[in-house]
Amino acid sequence: MVNSDYLKNLNEAQKQAVLALDGPLLIVAGAGSGKTKVLTSRIAHIIKNKSAFPNQILAVTFTNKAAKEMQIRVSKILGSSAVGLSWLGTFHSICAKLLRKHASAVNLNSNFTIVDTDDQIRLIKNICKAENIDIKQLAPRYVIAIIDKWKNKGLYPSEVKINPKDIYEKTILPVYKIYQQKLLELNACDFGDLILHSVKILEKNEDIRKIYSKNFKYILVDEYQDTNYIQSQWLHLLAEKNKNICCVGDDDQSIYSWRGAEIKNFLEFDKIYQNTRVIRLEQNYRSSKNILSVASSLISNNQNRVGKTLKSTMEDGDLIKLNCFKNGKDEAIGVSDEVEKIKKKYSLNNIAILVRAIFQTREFEERFLKIGMPYRILGGIKFYERAEIKDCVAYLRLIYQEKDDLAFERIVNNPKRSIGDSTIKIIHEYSKKNKISLEYSARKMIEKNLLKPKAKIGLSIFLDLISKWRNDLKIKNFNHVKLLQTLLDESGYSSMLKNKKDLENENRLENIKELLSAMKEFDNLESFLDHVSLATSIDQNWEGEKINMMTMHAAKGLEFDVVFLPGWEEGLFPHQKSIEEKGHNGLEEERRLAYVGITRAKKNAIISFSMNRFYQGDWIDSMASRFIDELPENNLEKNSYFDENNDTFDEFEFNQDIELDDDPKRSPGWIRYQKRIK
């Protein structure tokens, strides 16, 4: 007799999902509907019901944290440690295990090494050097990203068909071939290979495939909407014999296409697996009814979805606030004022600010530092601690203060000027011996011809630029914003980031643009540098409660009592780049991201946008996000802080379908909006 205690706390749909053991099953689990509870209860039921031994269950997650959580929960249900669940883990950990057993099938030894990102970069750099490929024009990280994309699609070098219009792919494919050969020579593989090799072994070796597909009587997959092609193919091969595959996920939370995730795996599950049963978990245990109504109304505008109707177990709750501000600075003040009002009711740890792009945290950080409000950045680094920001500030510090040795050391070879560690060491020794600054030491050593020719040339160019920029500041009276713009161009720093086709570098450029905006708030270079020093010297590791700041991508899987969602403006959210690159599919993914953001909130959600943004040192007109038009009026409380003399919302048009005088700077979002309303 099965001990069914673990079934008592399940609702009817959850119970069905646990008990439906035979055949393929797709569980459409809405936000906050208890999917982890269902998965763990299902594993426990299989074991308690003796439908399979623990080692005949394959349970796959995306993170080690999720795998550990699942292990703990199953152990709790069973009343003992979940012994024997040897195939519970991440895609990569399970594939690594399988690959070590059959390494010879892909010309590897079982003791192969798994290379990390640093190893990959080093290897790609060496290959590019040997093949005369300029890594300043083609960043190793970008090369790795393209190779990873091919591997996610299940393609070895010989199987890749390049896009003839893509000049980068033509260059990268030969690198991919050499890269894979080098890995074999090193008896190594990267993370992409773990799954790719595993799939190829199963495809080409029927005997091996039969062993595993027969052994795995039950397959369970968490967050199935985030799987890519190769992961889906791997699962399909392993489910070949028993076909008892259960995939749990939410197509409305598919937000990782940039990481290779393919939503069609979820949408076409019933085409891949015949006689699929679909069970919807629509009971939400997290959010108020108003929050769910707003989120559901928004996501219903997407066409590519399985569809579900979330029902809340909670009260109606407060209306979702929709706030309009004059500018980004006012928005940050408005958010901080709201936090001050609610912090007695809610712990700061249960309050989150979710942004579309990481550079948006700057204005909130500035505000919180000013008023002494503790905060943390989840999944990222505080604005003034980001490497590119510290580089820019170091340049400015050295221009302002020639004895700033720390600044000199940071930027003397950034970008690369053939000034290696040995040269810097020699300069340090000369400085120490003569009790003078590093910069003065470098000038003296050039004068006395104490450096190697290559280092001497690079150092001379750098010092000449420093002198030139000091002249720009003191003699030509450049303001600090213009000074930074000038030095970024003349130093080659901007080119270094622009030329390296890389998502990380794109984010760095956005951060630098935000820095230029921040600098305009200060009268001169001195006051700005003082501000940065104070901002970075404040002890950020306070004990106790802190407001959480993160991107919406980083917030997936988390929940908070109160969630602020600022910056809902065209061009920023939905993001301009996403729509330009992916069109309608990009728009739908941005809408899913909005859905994820809203459904992180349990009690209150506050959405806001600004009429103006300070961007790259200039004011631009902003447009309210098209997503705002898709929110249900009955569930909203609209507030306008646009006009200090007029707080009534009715006199301010949220759709902003108006003509303005003159010809002010227009954001890309504004331009696209005008096309849309004509």
Longest C-alpha distance within the chain, in Å?
A: 91
Q: 16, 36, 283, 536: which is the annotated catalytic residue?
A: 36
Could you tell me the two tokens for 408?
């000199």
Q: 15, 35, 280, 592: which is the annotated catalytic residue?
A: 35
Distance of CA 369 to the CA centre of its chain: 25
Residue 171 a catalytic site member: no
In 3-state terms, what secondary structure has residue 225? helix
Total H helices, total E strands in the chain? 27, 18
Three-class SS string for 131-188? CCCCCCCCCHHHHHHHHHHHHHCCCCHHHCCCCCCCHHHHHHHHHHHHHHHHHHHCCE
In Å, what is the CA distance from 483 to each residue of 400, 469, 471?
A: 11, 7, 10
How far apart CA 60 and CA 92 sit, in angstroms, is 9
Alpha-carbon torsion angle 474, 476, 477, 479, nearest 10: -110
How far apart CA 247 and CA 439 sit, in angstroms, is 61
Could you tell me the two tokens for 298?
């928004």
Residue 36 a catalytic site member: yes
Could you tell me the two tokens for 466?
């420093």
Q: 600, 603, 626, 672: which is the annotated catalytic residue?
A: 600
Residue with tokens 């984010």, as numbered in its chain: 507
10 Å CB burial of residue 411 (0-12, 13-18, 19+) is buried
| CB-based contact 74:320 (threshold 8 Å) | no
Closest CA to 92 of 36, 142, 148, 26: 148
| CB-based contact 41:6 (threshold 8 Å) | yes
Could you tell me the two tokens for 227?
């799987």
Residue 223 a catalytic site member: yes
How far apart CA 586 and CA 598 sit, in angstroms, is 19
How far apart CA 351 and CA 339 sit, in angstroms, is 8
Alpha-carbon torsion angle 464, 468, 471, 476, nearest 10: 170
Residue 165 a catalytic site member: no
Q: 61, 71, 253, 360: which is the annotated catalytic residue?
A: 253
Q: 222, 250, 330, 439: which is the annotated catalytic residue?
A: 222
How far apart CA 86 and CA 66 sit, in angstroms, is 15
Q: 190, 193, 223, 252: which is the annotated catalytic residue?
A: 223
How far apart CA 217 and CA 239 sit, in angstroms, is 8
Residue 48 a catalytic site member: no
Question: What are the residues whose beta carbons fall under 8 Å from the beta carbon of 592, sequence distance 6 or more?
Answer: 252, 253, 254, 255, 299, 302
10 Å CB burial of residue 92 (0-12, 13-18, 19+) is middle
Residue 600 a catalytic site member: yes
Please name the helix (run of DSSP H) or strand (run of DSSP E) that holds residue 587, with its range, or none. Answer: helix 576-598
Residue with tokens 């227009």, as numbered in its chain: 666
Which residues are identified as catalytic?
35-36, 222-223, 253, 600
